[in-house]
């Protein structure tokens, strides 16, 4: 879009994209923690209820990702509108 406009876009656009990417990495890490936690519990005894902190951390990360995705969608729509010819 910057090439189409021949000028740089607002700094908030790249910030929003960076925050979404960071949120994706956090969700991936929380999911990995959940998988490790589940597999280690199965090896060391009968299956028990999952540790609530791991599940709550994953839920919080998913919520943050949802909010970041909404913001990115809005920011990219605005950038697209600014790119269109008048």
**4, part of any domain:** no
What are 11-36's pLDDT values in tens digits?
889 899 999 999 999 999 999 998 88
Angle between helices 52-83 and 11-43 (to 10 degrees): 160
pLDDT above 80: residue 86 = no
- The pLDDT of residue 82: 85
**47, part of any domain:** yes
**37, part of any domain:** yes
- The pLDDT of residue 37: 84
**6, part of any domain:** no
**45, part of any domain:** yes
Alpha-carbon gap, residue 9 to 18, rounded angstroms: 14
Q: How many domains does the chain have?
A: 1
**5, part of any domain:** no
- The pLDDT of residue 3: 66
What are 32-68's pLDDT values in tens digits?
998 888 777 666 555 555 578 888 999 999 999 999 9
Range of the domain at 58: 12-83
Give DSSP secondary structure letters for 27-60: HHHHHHHHHHHHHHHHHTSS--PPPHHHHHHHHH
């Amino acid at each position: 879009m910057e090439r189409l406009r021949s000028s740089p876009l607002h700094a908030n656009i790249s910030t929003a994209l960076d925050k979404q990417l960071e949120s994706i990495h956090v969700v991936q890490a929380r999911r990995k923690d959940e998988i490790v936690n589940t597999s280690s519990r199965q090896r060391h005894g009968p299956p028990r209820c999952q540790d609530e902190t791991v599940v709550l951390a994953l839920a919080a990360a998913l919520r943050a990702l949802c909010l970041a995705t909404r913001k990115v969608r809005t920011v990219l729509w605005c950038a697209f509108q600014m790119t269109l010819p008048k």
